[in-house]
Structure 1
Amino acid sequence: MRLLSGAWKVIVGIKDALVLVFMILFFMLLFMALTASPNPIVVGEGALHVNLDGVIVEQPEPVDPFAVLTGSDSAIREHRLRDVVSGIRAAATDDRVTAVALDLDGFLGGGQSALGEVGDALQEVRDAGKPVIAYATAYGDDAYQLAAHASEVWVNPMGGALVLGPGGNNLYFGDALSNLGVTAHVFRAGTYKSAVEPFSRGSMSPDAREASQALADTLFEAWREDVSRARPDANLDAIIASPADTVEAANGNLATAAREAGMIDRIGSRTEWQARVAEIAGEDSRHGFRRIPLANWIAANPRSGGGSNIGVITVAGTIVDGEAPPGTAGGETIVELLREATENHDFSAIVVRIDSPGGSALASERIREAIRNAAAAEGDIPVIVSMGNLAASGGYWVAMAGDEIVAEPATITGSIGVFSIIPTFEGVLRDLEIGADGVATTPLSGEPDILGGLSPEVERLFQAGTDDIYNRFLTLVSEGRHMPRERIEELAQGRVWAGATARQLGLVDRFGSLDDAILVAAEEAGVEADDVNVIWIEEPVDSFTEFVRNWSREEDTEATAPRDVWTMLRPDPRAILSIMLGEMRLLLDGPAMQARCIECPVDVVPGRGSGDATTRAMLLGWLGG
């Protein structure tokens, strides 16, 4: 009886605890509903506070509402590019906004092409006669690309500005894998398809170096043109050619060196910057100046529309088979989104926004085919492709669904090539003196044999399959770009191009942003610009998540962790480890046949998908099978 009595007390205790938890959650939600602003998107007058703490992305990853409620959401903030651009542009013509306070203290980047769009929006504000006042403790390339469009650039006395430029080292695992007894069987089509080199070599090949250097030079020139056009008095040549001499001439003070080089206008603390903005926007005892938080401003200024629907489907992130959440381009997810959209709406045109390095060749073809099917179902309507930061390999494969391609000069595209990887571990077993033996009934029995190594028959099959998909890729590009196949073969070979070069080569049609692509789509469909109604073809946010997101809309707090110049220069071991583990995971878990551009430069943000928990989980997953 004592045992039963004790067990009953435990059950009652668990029940009481669960009731208590649910009651606490209920009253929390009730309190949130009662104390929330009756209209959270009402904004007043003041300076638009463009606080870009975090990163700018094409498609943010999903928000975990429970993590937000419990305060355990430590993910780096992601700002949707189109929201940032539209919000800043709306400020140019709205009398409620007296200035733009561009807060870059916690900004971690966003890609050169995307930042060009944000910079253009900032320029519109300046052209409208409104000041744009930027502040950061330290400016790197991305932050300064935006700050250059400001009418006043402020920097912390203990900060500065340096131009790093694209470039750096990649990891090559060929020798390490060989020493471990792992053989990476790589099959590729395309002379410049250097994605497989990290697994087969100990260093960069001459062909890959040639292509990468050309790409880096083109991107850097585009960056310099953008910055010089926005800030013509900045002496970029001096600080790029010999940064140490420039800083030493200023007695080691980076902030003074940046000012003397014309890169910044004022040296001052955040409080002094706030006081400067308050001179224009008015004072506020809590925030220093009267401000309009960017998130509230975006919510208060939804995009207006006309009567003709133009659908925009986004292909962002690595292209994978099956379903995937926003931020990753799941083939079946995008196919289903397009199917539902065409069932529920009548479209005059479709715009495909791509920001992807590619991935699965099969999923890339599934998406391309679904786009063409959607256009046919709507009566053969125009399809316009808009390229963001990156539309390479599988991303370019998807672009072949378009009738016209719009890209930015700094877009990274091309990489028309295919590769496959099969790791085998016969060397590991040999070193451990473990044998692998068996019987076969056909040349393919037990193949691919990751224990004993691939047979010549299997190697021939994989190379033939790789060549076949590459030939399909070439045919798609030849037909999509209306160019002879021989010419496409010259431009392909896995080589990566900047948008500026790609346009000269005929791989894209014109320069422009997403908004420009929408206007092109309207023109091709015979729709007047003011009659366009943009429908974003994306997964809807459930009501609970939307409620939490609205309730937790940022209080417009300051950047939590401003970085000085030296922190900016210091490499983050977590980011480097994340790259290494990601590439090894591609070798072990990725699809065997890929149209992916690993060599394309992609911003790695410390803490975004590269934190300690993620790293531990990946390691434990491999070690535990």
Structure 2
Amino acid sequence: MKKALIIIAVVLIVVFAVVLVAMRSMKAFTGRTAASIDKPSVLSIDLSREYPERSTFDFSRFNFSMKRETNFLGLIKAVEEAGRDDKIRAISLKIDGVGLSSSQFDEFAKAIDGFKESGKPVYAFMPSAGMGDLRAGCLADSLFMSPVSDFMLMGMAIMPMFFAGTAEKLGVGFDIIQMGEYKGVGEMFTEKALTEPLRENYTSLLDALFDGWLDFVSARRGISSEDLARYVDMGTFDAVDGFGMGLIDGIVYPQEYRERILSLVEDDDDRIVSISRYHSLKKPLSGKRKIAVIYCLGNIHSGKSQDSPFSRSFSIGDETFTKAIGDAADDDDIEAILLRVDSPGGSALASDFIWKSILDARKKKPVLVSMGGVAASGGYYISMGADSIFCEQNTITGSIGVVFMKIHAQGLMEKVGITVDGITRGEFADDFAIHKPMDAHAYEAFTRMSEKTYEIFTTKAAEGRGMAHEELLAVAGGRIWTGNQAVEAGLVDRIASFSEAIDATAKMVDIPRNELGIITYPREKGFWEIAFELRANPPLSSVLPEPIEKAISPVIDMITLFRPNEILALMPVVVITDR
């Protein structure tokens, strides 16, 4: 039976390969190829889709596209190139939800502003408008909605879930030791509401994000922040009202908007160029002199990285990344290294190993960091050893603190009649047993261990930032900062986009822009290599509805990353705003 199943599997793989190759060949024969742009055209950008940090293939919904997706850096470079390209007359934005993170949006806005400096217009159409849609629409010179469209400006919120009540009902307990008054990552299991330090921290963070939204929209639309706040408190209203408020420039149906865009290119549909087609033609950053871009994305853990093409999720395994950093440092063709960090943290031990590999690499060549949407806790740990740290104004960073957790099921076992008896040697032999909580001696021992880890974390952070230890402690303690706040606190050097960080890295080793090329680490795998590595079952996060996935992701992170005897450096919450 087993042999028959193997034969069937091999046959299916071969058939699958033949079909894909045939489809690709047919598309190349009959479809439109990425011919050069030789007539005035409009660049079309769909902001409703995601632009992943790392280039990969679209395996979502079993699409199995053999063409690499345009990654975020490709999006930015394509917009920058379009500003210099005489054949690109305008940009048209499709805004039906926004797939960019807050920090990615900041960089995209800079790129669009650079495009507009060339004197070319930007148009946008929104079928409906939430907070993120309106912010994106403000990038356009002319923003349109349909007569039956609605605004749903529902505000922003940080609303973590708490499971202490659930644990009580189940008879499950959590022994939590946290270093940092504001750390809070374990409080989801021990509390039923926000503690005062956590409420203070989240209030500061949310105020900064909401005020930033008000300032951005106010400046772009010429509406006072007070009026905008009032519109948000109204919640919902239609496009006609929005037009009267000055939030949009016109009311047209989608067909009429398309006609308007086609009129710019003599009604030639082939001259509406997608961002993926345009990027494939231009191939930026392919010069002979190389820098390494190392993508540090996802949770940090011991061992090898675990990536999933189904959910487009990545992780940072210390074995994988110490090797990647070491390989880039030892490669004589690589002149400098830039780490792109987008991580809420994870294992403190694994973070320290990666930090050490960065220090070793700095002995051979410059190492810089560009922070993405989140570079907090362990994500900050792996960043703090670099020569320079850059972030966007809405990057979430800081959260310098550690947490230790032990789970027990004493109450549950009593309810179902399970008893435990045993023989031990050593005072702490049974303190990680599932049937009992830690005793006072264990709490004391693991508190000392946690305090030592926190001292190491803060000492190394102070050394990396050139600060006195006491000065660093004043901005540590688990506090979460936006990028702007982190710069003021001295945790980051300056606000800069990913593209600007690449330019700064090249400048450190005197590489002219027209000679600059990048090599990506970890090595990008080909389609077939990924396809043959796929497991039968996608991870849990890929099959859950997106709102549920986001809400419970801190819990999944804690459960996934937790190992007995290991201390975590993990950010306590996911910030959910209306994109």
Please say whether Structure 1 and Structure 2 have the same fold, judged by a TM-score greater than 0.5.
Answer: yes
Give the conservation status (yes or no) of the 8 Å contact 1:54–1:78.
no
Alpha-carbon distance in structure 2 between the residues aligned to 1:346 and 1:415: 36
Q: What residue number does 2:310 align with?
A: none
The Cα of 1:291 is off from its aligned counterpart by: 0.8
Could you tell me which residue of structure 1 aligns to residue 21 of structure 2?
A: 29
Check if 1:196 corresponds to 2:186: yes
Say whether the 8 Å CA contact 1:174–1:201 is kept in structure 2: yes
Structure 2 counterpart of 1:611: none
Q: How does 1:237-248 map to 2 (within 5 A)?
A: 237-243=226-232
Give how far 1:50 is off. Answer: 0.6
In the alignment, what sits opposite 1:612? none
- Residue of 376, 390, 406 corresponding to 2:374: 390
Aligned to 1:42: 35
Residue identity matched to 1:266: G
Mapping for residues 228-307 of structure 1, pairs under 5 Å: 228-229=218-219, 231-243=220-232, 253-284=237-268, 290-307=271-288
Q: 1:420 aligns with which of 401, 404, 418?
A: 404
Report the secondary structure of 2:291's partner residue.
Answer: strand
Partner of 1:487: 471
> How far off its partner does 1:414 sit?
0.6
Q: Residues 196 and 60 (structure 1 numbering): CA distance in 2 closer, same or farther, change over 3 Å?
A: farther
Matched residues, percent identical? 25
CA 1:131–1:589: 2 relative to 1, 3 Å: closer
2-side partners of 1:600 and 1:19: how far apart?
44
Which residue does the alignment assign to 1:599? 573
Q: Is the Cα–Cα contact under 8 Å of residues 358 and 596 in structure 1 kept in the other structure?
A: yes
Counterpart pick for 1:507 among 480, 491, 509: 491
Aligned to 1:590: 561
Matched position secondary structure for 2:148: strand
CA RMSD of aligned residues (A): 3.3
Output one character per residue of 1:33-55: Cα deviation in whole Å (capped at 9) or x when no partner: 25415994324342111123322
- 1:96 partnered with 2:87: yes
Between 169-178 and 189-198, the greater mean CA deviation after superposition = 169-178
Task: Give me the whole-angstrom Cα distance separating, in 1, the residues matched to 2:499 and 2:191.
Answer: 43
Q: Secondary structure at the match of 1:194?
A: coil
- Deviation string 1:284-321 (CA, Å, 9 cap, x unpaired) is 4xx5x731111111111111455542222111122222
Do 1:49 and 1:101's aligned partners in 2 also have CA atoms closer than 8 Å? yes
Moved more, 271-280 or 365-374: 365-374
The one-letter code matched in structure 2 to 1:518 is I
Matched, 1:57 2:46: no
- Structure 1 unmatched ranges of 5 or more: 1-6, 248-252, 549-572, 606-625
CA contact (8 A) 1:418 1:469 kept: yes
2:428 counterpart (435, 438, 444): 444
| Secondary structure in 2 matching 1:193 | coil
Q: Are 2:57 and 1:67 equivalent residues in the alignment?
A: no
For 1:459-497, what per-residue CA distance to the aligned partner results, in whole angstroms no more than 9, with x for missing partners?
222222211111110011110011100111111000001
The residue correspondences of 1:160-171 to structure 2 (distance < 5 A) are 160-171=150-161
| Aligned residue pair count | 556
> What letter matches 2:280 in structure 1?
A
Distance 1:91 1:547 in 2: 34
Structure 2 SS opposite 1:258: helix
The aligned residue for residue 164 of structure 2 is 174
> C-alpha separation between the residues in 1 aligned to 2:28 and 2:216?
42
Give 2:548's match in structure 1, choosing from 577, 580, 583.
577
The superposition leaves residues 143-185 of structure 1 with CA deviations (integer Å, 9 ceiling, x where unpaired) of: 2222211111111222233444432422111122122211111
Residue 113 (structure 1) shift = 1.4
Q: Say whether residues 1:131 and 2:121 are aligned partners.
A: yes
Provide closer, same or farther for how the CA distance between residues 529 and 61 of structure 1 changes in structure 2, counting only shifts above 3 A.
closer
Name the residue aligned to 1:565.
Answer: none
Shift in Å at residue 342 of structure 1? 3.6
Partner of 1:353: 340
Given the superposition, is the C-alpha separation of residues 374 and 254 from structure 1 closer, same or farther in structure 2, using an over 3 Å criterion? Answer: same
Aligned to 2:394: 410
- Which residue does 1:467 correspond to in 2? 451
What is the Cα deviation at residue 64 of structure 1? 3.7
Aligned in 2, Cα 1:20/1:168: closer, same or farther, shift over 3 Å?
closer
Partner of 1:562: none
Which residue matches 1:367?
354
Structure 2 Cα separation of the partners of residues 208 and 202 of structure 1: 13
- Equivalent position amino acid for 2:347 in 1: S
Contact 1:109 1:143 in 2 (8 A): no
Measured after TM superposition, the shift of residue 57 of structure 1 is 3.5
Question: What corresponds to 2:197 in structure 1?
Answer: 207
1:385-429 deviations in Å (ceiling 9; x for gaps):
111221111111011121111122211111000002111010111
| Letter of the 2:570 counterpart | R
The CA distance in 1 between the partners of 2:106 and 2:184, in whole Å, is: 28
State the distance in 1 between where 2:7 and 2:221 align. Answer: 70
Relative to 1, partners in 2 of residues 1:21 and 1:496: Cα closer, same or farther, differing over 3 Å? closer
Asked if the contact 1:407–1:508 (Cα under 8 Å) also holds between the matched residues in 2, the reply is yes
Contact (CA 8 Å) 2:76, 2:499: kept in 1 or not?
Answer: no
Q: Kindly indicate whether residue 158 of structure 2 is the aligned counterpart of residue 158 of structure 1.
A: no
CA distance change for structure 1 residues 337 and 449 in 2, over 3 Å: closer, same or farther? same
User: Which residue among 314, 317, 325 is the counterpart of 1:338?
Assistant: 325
CA–CA separation in structure 2 for the residues paired with 1:86 and 1:53: 19
Q: Give 1:338 shift.
A: 2.4
Letter in structure 2 aligned against 1:30: A
For residues 574 and 92 of structure 1, do their structure 2 counterparts lie closer, same or farther at Cα, with a shift above 3 Å needed? same
Paired letter, 1:143: D
Q: What stretches of structure 2 of length at least 5 have no aligned partner?
A: 308-312, 533-543
